[in-house]
Amino acid sequence: MNYLIEGIAFICCLIMLLIAVKQDLKKREVTDFLWIVFGAIGILVLIAKILIEKIQIEILLIPIIITILFIAIIYFLGKKSDLLFIGPADLKAIIVIAFYFQGMFALNVFMLALLISLSMPIWILTNNLIKKENLPAKGIKGIALYITGYKKKITELNKFESPLEKISFAKKEKRFFFLSPLIEPENENKRLKAMVKQGKIKNFVWATPLPAFMIFLLISFVLMYIAILIKVI
């Protein structure tokens, strides 16, 4: 292992993910320019590994191809179902990381990030138990809602929260629950807030958080790299 190249790879990916997290939290999207710049640098790092470390090209390229194909499948599944949706920016980050680190490192980062994201349901469940909230619905659906959402004032909803209730008003308020959160809930949140202001519906809704998955990727990347260092040492 060439420690200089690996160090450069780590610093580049870390800077890239930090910038991505900042943009994701601020605008809920990440500019493609970021992936182009760090992707180009990643290709240079890849070439340096081939020339300096004398690693066979196929050993580096095959994992990259596998990563791209895997990400393509995840993207396609996300198009079919919102429950399987992963943001395009998050998927692009994994592909770029694959150019910096050989083997299945990038995919391991992705899988660990998914695992870390499971901390959200645990936090939600704990919060609901502490507040002694009742199940929002009966049966399995109610349990699923209880570990993925919480009751909140509609007027306090933000762009990182999606309603898990479809609320309408025709002479009287009507509600029904659904488990698939809205990917971009801003317009729906505005609609509900307007209805509350007009006095048509009660000021509460069962909602779910939409955390920036890029944060989980950042944490996962750092942990995976530390794991590599421990093995090397």
- Do residue 202 and residue 221 come from a single domain? no
Task: Tell me the pLDDT of the chain averaged across its residues.
Answer: 90
* Residue pLDDT, tens place only, 46-67: 988 888 877 778 778 888 999 9
If we measure between CA atoms, which residue out of 222, 230, 228, 229 comes closest to residue 13?
222
> Domain tally for the chain?
2
Residue 177 pairs in a beta bridge with 165
pLDDT tens for 14-41 read 999 999 999 988 888 899 999 999 999 9
Q: Are 65 and 154 within one domain? A: no
Asked if residue 204 lies in contact with residue 151, where contact means CB atoms within 8 angstroms, the answer is yes
Residue ranges of the alpha helices (H) in 53-87?
Answer: 57-80
Based on the fold, state whether residues 83 and 140 are members of the same structural domain. no
Domain range for 56 is: 3-116+212-232
Same domain, 18 and 110: yes
Regarding whether 83 and 9 lie in a shared domain, the answer is yes
Q: Are 217 and 110 found together in one domain?
A: yes
Judge if 101 and 161 occupy the same domain: no
Helix (H) or strand (E) holding 168: strand 165-170
If asked whether residues 135 and 105 sit together in one domain, one would say: no
Over the stretch 67-124, which tens digit does the pLDDT of each residue have?
999 999 988 887 777 666 788 899 999 999 999 998 889 999 999 999 999 899 999 9
Same domain, 109 and 152: no
For residues 213 and 111, is the Cβ–Cβ distance under 8 A? no
Distance CA 230, CA 233 (A): 5
Alpha carbons 146 and 157: distance in angstroms, whole number: 18
* Judgement on whether residues 101 and 78 belong to the same structural domain of the protein: yes
Residue 135 and residue 102 share a domain: no
Looking at the structure, tell me whether residues 76 and 182 fall in a common domain. Answer: no
